[in-house]
Amino acid sequence: MPRVSLRLLMLQIGSVVLLLSTLLLSPQALAAGAPTITSFTPAWGPSGTVILVTGTNFTSSSVAQIGSANVQFTYVDPTQAYVSFGAGVSSGAIRIANAVAAARSERNFVVTPTSAPGTFAQPVITGLSPNSGAAGSVVTVTGTGFNDATQVWLGSSLSVAPTIVSSTRIDFTVPPDASTGRVIVVNLQRAALSTASFTVTAGGGTTGSTTGGTTTGTTTGGSTTGGSTGGSTGGTTGGTTTGGSTTGGSTTGGSTTGGTTTGGTTTGGTTTGGTTTGGSTTGGTTGGSGPIGATEAARFLTQATFGPKLSEINSLATATSFDPWLTQQRNVTPTLQLPYLQQREASGAQMVQAERINAWLQATITGPDQLRQRVAFALSEMLVVSENFGALNFDVKGLANYYDILIRNAFGNYRTLLEEVTLSPQMGLYLSMIRNQKPDPANGIRSDENYAREIMQLFTVGLNRLNLDGTPQRDANGKAIPTYNQAEVEGLARVFTGFGPGGGSGSFAFTVLDADRLRPMSAYQEFHDTNAKTIIGNTTIAAGQQALPELRQALDVLFNHPNVGPFVSQQLIRKLVTANPSPAYVQRVATVFNNNGSGVRGDLFAVTRAILTDIEARGGGLASNPSTFGKLREPVLRLTQMWRAFDASGAGGRFNYDNPQGAFIQAPLRAPSVFNFFRPDFAPTGAIANAGLVSPEFQVTDEASISTMINELNYLVGRYRSTANPQPNPSNVVFDFRSWETLAQNPPAMVDQLNLLLMSGQMPSAMRTELINYANQIPLSEGAAVRVSEVLYLLMTSPQYAVQR
Amino acid sequence: MNILKKATRRDVLRLGVQTAASSSMLATLGTYQRAMAAVDTRGYKALVCVFLYGGNDGFNLVVPRSSPAYNTYAASRRNLALAQNSLLAINPLTSDGNQYGLHPNCAGLQNLFESSRMAIVANTGTLIQPTTPAQFRAANVPLPPNLFSHADQSQQWQTSIPNSIQPQGWGGRIADLLNAQGYGNPNLATNISLNGSNIWQGGNNTIFYTLGENGAPVLYDYQYPGYRSGTRRASFDRLLQQATASTDGNLHFREYTRSVNRTIASSQYVNNALNAAPALTTVFPSSGIGNQLRLAARMISARSQLGLSRQLFFVGLNGFDQHDNHLSAHGGLLSQLSPALKAFYDATVEMGIQNSVTAFTASDFGRTLSSNGTGSVAGSDHGWGNHHLVIGGAVQGRRIYGSMPDLSLNGPNDAGSGRIVPTISTDQYSATLARWFGADDSDLDLLFPNLRNFSTRNLSFV
């Protein structure tokens, strides 16, 4: 197959006809199923833009359209292709057809008149060094135009956290699941493809599952899963703890792959016998290799996304493992906020915070990168900056850029994330690290302790030393052991000195300019304290260092503190799965944080996978601890779940719902303080506190907020698109009830569908009966949509719905 | 009135002890009838906690204005110092030889102080026992855990139990006792929060009731019970009944079900009472804290309609964690706080109930005297001891209680960098308030377990 240079494509050399005539001879053109499109990037651009499309069953003979116009199609492999277009093409869905069938993108590609202001250099790859290596090895890419690069792919595998060394050099790590292929460097608008292939040699995959005890799952990213889930299920923990010794331990755990289905389903099968947990029984009876089942798929998607859609439930229900979905989610192109805002600004939109909320709602309701967005949202509640702060009130693009840091690094490395967050001017302003300077004894000035304290207390280690399982260590007198003391706070405060605006004015003390708000803070050595410091764990930072290397050294110390694994893991579990994870669960996830199976610490994708595929998440916790398992649904996730379930939309793809926090308490980057909307250890007075448990969301759940939310739901469910009224007020976000009109004629089936989508099939039977009875009281003469909306209201406002479990 | 009768001591002894999980609603047991039969509104009292979140800089709220004390202050604070001639003079009846003034944005507070309606309680903070800077540095006395941490210090302020397993607030524990003695009301909690969740009002059995700034929103189906001929309301109620009667023991589910029940039970009751209560003419500033205090005043105005003879209110103001831009941001917050507190006091005068309502400030901690930057990034860091305010007709005002600390860096009160070691404990401060509210001396040790470590049990400011 000929190799097509992107640069050539940009010059519009190589017409579709020419490519087809040569490629028709290649074997890829012959056998393939119906194509699908999972994502494309960029989402917008002027003529000349090259679009990277990912999906399945692309062939060298495929053809492409945008809207109704034929455009250029360049085949890369069955899962990737490039589409580019010239003048005269208008916005529309991307359509790719092969000999069998055609696929259409879920979202439109938006054709813009110009690329300003978000103009990104065309990257060009000129060399790879080395040109072969095992997973985990580092490869240097040379070329040009790398300043704005956001991703490096090896074939269809995304490399986490590539390092942009300069505009001409990027280093990336060969992903654990990569196979031989060409290297792609992507910025927000354009991509470059290497001419040469990089050859993946053996050795990378086989290191996979040290913790798992078995060496399955080597190729398809099963290495980490094998490590976490296989380890817990098939290995020591699962076998002994969950009593799954017969099925869970020996038979399935190690042998198939990853043991993802195995874990959950084994417990479901043996312990509960399928009485309550419905979905997981299916898997249980077939020993874990059977299909996941609809209710378990819905339950998983409720933990992993902003709410399941029917199509996603159906697709996952027939799978036998969560791995392909997880891998697909890892690889799908991130939906970023800043590029969208820049596009809006270019088209004349005022940069108000509502634009940022709109971008977030679009991504969370319609974005393909659901898991990444969900993890990013969780991170935004841990690494908090907030619009509710003078210096950030009007910093719309800066906050979008901060959120993009979380999105980009959601599957990256926690150490990288920590550094980007630390150097972000938004964090600098929020926790007053920007323009923090060395002590000035003559003027009685110390270094600011704010960031030093909170990065330890909230972002990395917490107040007290933890065991690997997240429980506090105790001294001989049974007291908790502090992780750091005041002198170490003061030492770290002096490390974080000398960081100022990112170069706009070149002045440390000058006002933070707009341009500075989109760049990491810069080091100003003359304001940096170069004395020696003592930081956490009585660690000495040597005198005489430059600001940035010293900051990195301190971040390394924090990142490698043994608390970080359990501290971060426990918080992420609380956000995604359950408020009170067992210590064993925390330990299994923290173990993956400490080592993803390939010797890498802080791999957030591996951590996310470990959380979601753990036996406790997949049915074990629900079966063995029904009285504590689960969590009160985060308020704003109720909104997104509902809107996703009913394909809500607004005119032009916009979601004009500017203040979600008004009724749903939360909105991205709008917490009242660095302690988030609610603290991870909050316990409401009464039974939960008395049992020594937590339920964080109750910190914002009170009479006032319950009433406000219920009343807003009453209002929202009345805004919908129906057959009778297909185009309601375009400035609103509206549900689409059109596909429910047949179902509404059959109340039991309608309620069952609502149950699956919104309650993962966990609706008590008395409630089901009540909702069916109520539906029957709404005459169809009023319209099927009225019936759906009325029942939806009752479901969404019920206590039965309120807990995710 | 002794709010801690012998019969209830057994309950009190459970404070701070992890008890077996019990979902019993003690607050609504057995005492309904008494409470409803004869509510003693003549003996009405209300306590209002004004929480200044983030750590208010009390050393810029009450400032020495005479030399040489001002010079010492200015030398420590440097670019955080207020100008000497900007301070609003106060003339306390107590004297330590220095003259003092209030922050220039606190004219309302100045008026309250000078008219004897406000007291200043000096250098107050979390302590286990009396502690000197030398003892702090040597760490040879028990210290409150996690000093200088927002979450922990604000919790200790509100619980007075530094090592508690469960964060029970002392306001909540008082309400436990009041409820056990028949002061409760099955329709409404004794504790009302105007600022959402807080620790101070949560007791062993007491749940507090949260009002929005505009009162209690009523559920749509209750406001419009005729919607769809009442069929949806009926279904809503049946679903809630199913949840309430469910054998599903999931704790999150049970707690949420309780919350929804409480919401419905209280909201109409509160709104009816507010609508029937005498209107207030006192004008409150339109700010978050102004709105909260205005609603607290309206709830006091509705005390008869609400059938409550004891009320504890919680209001809050955020934003005091000024690591940057300190002078301007702090001044802005005080210009919201001062007129709101003045209006609240005026409203109690309008109601003729000023001698039965006491408001007091609380905050995470004080701040460092020393500065952490220059120009607009000049700020302060987390400190310890702090000055606090108590306001009301019953207050022995125009006095400063305790000792104003020496403000020199590395001076006799400094733990380092101008973190001033408190000389009054939060237990002494809170116990004085609880005593006024009705707690008996012998019972204060149960409410404030470390009070016994301090010789002065009653600061007598109220």
3-state helix, strand, coil in chain B (%, to 5): 40, 15, 45
In angstroms, what separates the C-alpha of B421 from chain A's closest C-alpha? 14
Is the predicted pLDDT of residue B415 greater than 80, yes or no? yes
Contact B168, B375 (CB under 8 A): no
Q: CB count, 10 Å around CB of A171?
A: 16
Q: CB count, 10 Å around CB of A633?
A: 19
Interatomic CA distance for residues B29 and A713, integer angstroms: 34
Q: Decide: helix, strand or coil at residue B9.
A: helix
pLDDT band, very low/low/confident/very high, at A195 (cuts 50, 70, 90): confident
Token output for A683: 């316990």
pLDDT at B166: 62
By the 10 Å C-beta count (0-12 exposed, 13-18 middle, 19+ buried), B192 is classed as buried
pLDDT at A29: 36
pLDDT at B187: 78
CATH number of A6-111: 2.60.40.10
pLDDT at A187: 67
Domain B45-184+195-210+307-453 has CATH 3.30.70: no
The 10 Å CB-count burial string (b at 16+, else e) for B283-294 is ebbebbbbbbbb
pLDDT at A289: 59
CB contact (8 A) between residue B370 and residue A445: yes
pLDDT at A584: 97
Token output for A615: 């036996």
Give the mean model confidence (pLDDT) for residues A656-661.
96
Give the mean model confidence (pLDDT) for residues B333-351.
98
Chain-wide mean pLDDT for chain B? 89
Chain B residue with CA closest to A631: the answer is B252
Chain A residues with CB under 8 Å of B250 CB are: 626-630, 803, 805
pLDDT at B336: 98
Is the predicted pLDDT of residue A708 greater than 50, yes or no? yes
pLDDT band, very low/low/confident/very high, at A114 (cuts 50, 70, 90): low
pLDDT band, very low/low/confident/very high, at B104 (cuts 50, 70, 90): very high
pLDDT at A161: 64
Closest CB to B259: pick one of A706, A767, A773: A706
End-to-end CA distance of chain A: 50
Is the predicted pLDDT of residue A257 greater than 70, yes or no? no
Give the mean model confidence (pLDDT) for residues A388-414.
97
Is the predicted pLDDT of residue B27 greater than 70, yes or no? no
pLDDT band, very low/low/confident/very high, at A210 (cuts 50, 70, 90): very low
User: Of B76, B237, B242, B252, which to mutate for an interface test with A (greatest number of A Cβ within 10 Å)?
Assistant: B252
pLDDT band, very low/low/confident/very high, at A576 (cuts 50, 70, 90): very high
Question: Given CB atoms, is A164 within the 8 Å cutoff of chain B?
Answer: no
pLDDT at A44: 72
- Which residues in chain A (492-511) have CB-CB distances under 8 A to chain B? 493, 509
Equal CATH topology for A6-111 and A124-205: yes
Closest CB to A687: pick one of B18, B23, B231: B23
Kindly report, residue by residue over A319-357, the tens digit of the pLDDT.
999 999 999 999 999 999 999 999 999 999 999 999 999
DSSP structure string for B297-336: HHHHHTHHHHT-SEEEEEEEE-----SSSHHHHHHHHHHH
Give the mean model confidence (pLDDT) for residues B22-47.
44
Question: What sign has the CA pseudo-torsion A312, A313, A317, A323?
Answer: positive
Give the mean model confidence (pLDDT) for residues A217-242.
28
Q: Report the percent of chain A where pLDDT is more than 70.
A: 83
Chain A residue with CA closest to B194: the answer is A704
pLDDT at B185: 80
Strands B191-193 vs B100-102: parallel, antiparallel or unpaired: unpaired
Give the mean model confidence (pLDDT) for residues A720-747.
92
Q: How many CB pairs under 8 A join A and B?
A: 244
Is the predicted pLDDT of residue B30 greater than 70, yes or no? no
CB contact (8 A) between residue A632 and residue B193: no
pLDDT at A120: 59
Which one is predicted more confidently, B39 or B29? B39
Kindly report, residue by residue over A602-641, the tens digit of the pLDDT.
999 999 999 999 999 998 899 999 999 999 999 999 999 9
Q: Which residue has the tokens 């060496």?
A: A215
Question: What sign has the CA pseudo-torsion B301, B304, B305, B310?
Answer: positive
Interatomic CA distance for residues A126 and B305, integer angstroms: 81
pLDDT at A224: 26
Question: Given CB atoms, is A704 within the 8 Å cutoff of chain B?
Answer: yes
Domain ranges (residues) in chain A: 6-111, 124-205, 632-804
pLDDT at A604: 98
Which one is predicted more confidently, A95 or A600? A600
Is the predicted pLDDT of residue A103 greater than 60, yes or no? yes
Q: Report which secondary-structure segment, H or E, holds B49.
A: strand B45-52
Kindly report, residue by residue over A66-83, the tens digit of the pLDDT.
888 889 888 888 888 888
Which one is predicted more confidently, B139 or A150? B139
Contact A64, A83 (CB under 8 A): yes
In angstroms, what separates the C-alpha of A573 from chain B's closest C-alpha? 16
pLDDT at A160: 62
Question: Given CB atoms, is A672 within the 8 Å cutoff of chain B?
Answer: yes
Give the mean model confidence (pLDDT) for residues A148-160.
73
Kindly report, residue by residue over B41-51, the tens digit of the pLDDT.
458 999 999 99
Chain A residues with CB under 8 Å of B251 CB are: 627-628, 687-688, 691, 693, 695
Chain B residues with CB under 8 Å of A626 CB are: 249-250
What topology is assigned to A124-205 in CATH? Immunoglobulin-like (2.60.40)
Kindly report, residue by residue over B146-202, the tens digit of the pLDDT.
999 999 999 999 999 876 656 789 999 999 888 887 777 877 888 999 999 999 998
| φ, ψ for residue B368, nearest 5 deg | -65, 145
Q: Where are the beta strands (DSSP E) in B198-256?
A: 209-210
For the ranges A416-425, A471-480, B26-35, B299-308, the lowest mean pLDDT is seen at B26-35
pLDDT band, very low/low/confident/very high, at A597 (cuts 50, 70, 90): very high
Strands B88-90 vs B100-102: parallel, antiparallel or unpaired: antiparallel
Which one is predicted more confidently, A136 or A395? A395
CB contact (8 A) between residue A449 and residue B381: yes
Is the predicted pLDDT of residue A21 greater than 50, yes or no? no
Is the predicted pLDDT of residue A175 greater than 90, yes or no? no
Closest CB to A444: pick one of B324, B329, B370: B370
Peptide bond into A42 cis (omega under 30): yes
Which one is predicted more confidently, A93 or A229? A93
Is the predicted pLDDT of residue A363 greater than 60, yes or no? yes
Is the predicted pLDDT of residue A215 greater than 70, yes or no? no
Is the predicted pLDDT of residue A667 greater than 60, yes or no? yes
Please give the angle made by the CA atoms of A470, A474 and A477, to the nearest 5 degrees. Answer: 160
pLDDT at B81: 98
Chain B residues with CB under 8 Å of A457 CB are: 149
Question: Given CB atoms, is A63 within the 8 Å cutoff of chain B?
Answer: no
In angstroms, what separates the C-alpha of A482 from chain B's closest C-alpha? 8
User: Of B251, B263, B368, B376, which to mutate for an interface test with A (greatest number of A Cβ within 10 Å)?
Assistant: B251
CB contact (8 A) between residue A711 and residue B219: yes
Domain ranges (residues) in chain B: 45-184+195-210+307-453
Give the mean model confidence (pLDDT) for residues B413-424.
97
Token output for A318: 């027939």
Which one is predicted more confidently, A123 or A568? A568
Is the predicted pLDDT of residue A173 greater than 90, yes or no? no
pLDDT at A232: 29
